């Protein structure tokens, strides 16, 4: 079990967490949050269009 003591083996298992550490993780989290906010705004806008428009048999 010497491979578990080797930090480079652990990095090979998770290439996304290789270098940069917390800074890269923060950038990823910021991008994800921005994307989620954009998706939410888009969904709200579409819902408003549906609510304002005439009922044409659609919607959930």
pLDDT digits (tens, 9 = 90+) for 5-60: 555 555 556 555 555 678 899 999 999 999 999 999 999 999 999 998 876 555 55
- Structure confidence at residue 7 (pLDDT): 56
Residue 1 has pLDDT above 80, yes or no: no
- Structure confidence at residue 13 (pLDDT): 60
Are the CB atoms for 19 and 26 separated by under 8 Å?
Answer: no
Q: Which of 26, 46, 22 is nearest to 34 (CA)?
A: 26
């Amino acid at each position: 079990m010497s491979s578990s003591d080797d930090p480079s083996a652990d990095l090979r298992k998770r290439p996304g967490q290789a270098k940069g550490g917390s800074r890269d993780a923060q950038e990823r989290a910021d991008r994800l949050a921005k994307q989620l906010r954009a998706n939410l705004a888009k969904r709200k806008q579409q819902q408003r269009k549906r609510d304002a428009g005439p009922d044409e048999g659609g919607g959930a």
